[in-house]
Structure 1
Amino acid sequence: MFELTGKVAVVTGASSGLGADAARAYVEAGANVALLARRFEKLEALAEELRAAGADALPVQCDVTDEDSVKAAIEKVLEHFGRIDILLNNAGVAVRGGVDTLTVEGWNKSMDTNVKGIFLVSKYVVPHMIAQKYGKIVNVASVNAVIADKQDVFIRHGYNASKSAVLGLTRGMAASYGKYNITVNAVGPGLFESEMTANTLFKSEEFLKGYSYQCPLGRPGARGEEAGPVLFFSSDASSYVTGEFVIIDGGSSIV
């Protein structure tokens, strides 16, 4: 049920982190992939790795906040592959600050990347999924879509708001496009080491000790562990699941 042979997956924010890990999982399951992000050099390096594994991997430079860039990127993907079966809307940013300190620019950056980006990429992918009567869309939200934290290191009100909006958008899309055999679900990663956390949260032994103590599984997430639920939502294993949200946080949000 997790087989993706012959499928084409588009991954935004594919240059690192969850996007890169998901692209590897897609290829391992048999899919070909289009890798979208702003940093083309990193995309090309990942594409070479995936080609060596036997996949057709297409790197495409794309700024998900710019409609012209998104339109051109999706056109390039369709020209190359002829179809899009899976869309992982993963591109995202986390801007620190509460409403008392966050600038309008910081607020807009969170909303533009985390919400507008999903809207724009979906806008140009969904019509093709409707035409082929098949599609699997996975939107990356965050555990911080449903919980907040009073620790200064976690105060990111624009991030909270934008990731909560992702859930609303996911449910709206799921309700509208189910009749076309398109499922739309979301995942909410907790603490994983990434470019956003490597030089901040993961630099603090005190923070990691406290986090591990309160997390039921006793540790942050390991590279690749976030890809399993993404693969589930991207495959026919989830053929009767839509509009749902799965948190990937080792149980931290339940205690």
Structure 2
Amino acid sequence: MTLKGKVSLITGSTSGIGLATAHVLAEQGINLVLHGLASDAEGNKLAQQFQQNYGIETLFDNTDLKDETALIAFMDNAIEQMGAIDILVNNAGIQHTESIDTFPASKWNDIIAINLSAAFHTMQKSIPKMREQGWGRIVNIASVHGLVASANKSAYCAAKHGIVGLTKVAALECAEHGITVNAICPGWVDTPLINNQINAMAGNDKLTVKQAKYKLITAKQALPEMTDPLQVGELVLFLCSNTARTITGSAIPIDGAWTAQ
């Protein structure tokens, strides 16, 4: 079965895991709805680059996922313009770390809205057409924090645990309609944000960057290596393949044995 000509919508796809996943899927001839924190000019330029480099159809939107009305309009527009969303990748997410007793309610609300509620709305809009055509793939990018907790991450852990639960429910509801629904749970992923954290640790603890990187990673996971965003993209692609057609309702760690401990 070829995935060429399918349509994938990836939230948060202008950087990091989302952008890497977009490249992996585009290489297979999958048309893309790109979304992220970029201006219209920047986003449309990125969409044009994908069109030129991969010969696919693209659409860009920078809708604020906290705005339910705007999000639903975004989904309706994407489905109208692209015909359907065959592959939905809920990747967008934000973070804030603080103890529960002082955690700002506004931060809690934003994290739950973007990391969890937005996925519910995109799934609700995508599933009817998937069910009608008898095929669909939904991949929710959760986190190890959808399986285990860390201090000072109450909203993030609540949202990611929620994504794992939502994934399981959707998998049960969609199982007889050719739709699989899975969650990917990354540990440390090699992104600029993590590199900033490593550099700060190196300065504070008087370590080399290499030493700081090792210290940061092994504080949580056994494998002293971060996951490349492209590896997550490749796992998304695998879950879309015919080989993975009976994998559904799973929360798959890609975490260097973080959750094995």
Seen in structure 2, the aligned counterparts of structure 1 residues 90 and 196 have a Cα distance that, compared at 3 Å, is same
- Does the 8 A contact of 1:64 with 1:118 survive in 2? no
Seen in structure 2, the aligned counterparts of structure 1 residues 179 and 14 have a Cα distance that, compared at 3 Å, is same
1:133 aligns with 2:134: yes
Seen in structure 2, the aligned counterparts of structure 1 residues 65 and 237 have a Cα distance that, compared at 3 Å, is farther
- Greater CA deviation, 62-71 or 25-34? 62-71
1:210 aligns with 2:211: no
1:65 aligns with 2:83: no
Matches of 1:66 and 1:133, distance apart in 2: 30
Report the TM-score, using the length of structure 2 for normalisation. Answer: 0.88
Give the number of the structure whose residues are more often helix, by fraction: 2
Aligned to 2:249: 243
Matches of 1:103 and 1:212, distance apart in 2: 28
Residue 84 of structure 1 and its aligned partner are, at CA, apart by 1.6
Aligned to 1:170: 167
**SS where residue 204 of structure 1 aligns?**
helix
Residue 226 of structure 1 and its aligned partner are, at CA, apart by 1.5
Residue 200 of structure 1 and its aligned partner are, at CA, apart by 2.7
Q: Deviations over 1:3-24 (max 9, x none)?
A: 4212110111111111111111
Matches of 2:68 and 2:154, distance apart in 1: 25
Matches of 2:238 and 2:60, distance apart in 1: 24
Query: For structure 2, which runs of at least 5 residues remain unmatched after alignment?
Result: none
Aligned to 1:108: 109
Aligned to 1:181: 178
Seen in structure 2, the aligned counterparts of structure 1 residues 194 and 213 have a Cα distance that, compared at 3 Å, is closer
Residue identity in the other structure for 1:132:
Q
Residue identity in the other structure for 1:249:
D
Matches of 1:60 and 1:115, distance apart in 2: 19
Residue identity in the other structure for 1:98:
S
- Does the 8 A contact of 1:193 with 1:202 survive in 2? no
Report the TM-score, using the length of structure 1 for normalisation. Answer: 0.90
- Does the 8 A contact of 2:190 with 2:228 survive in 1? yes
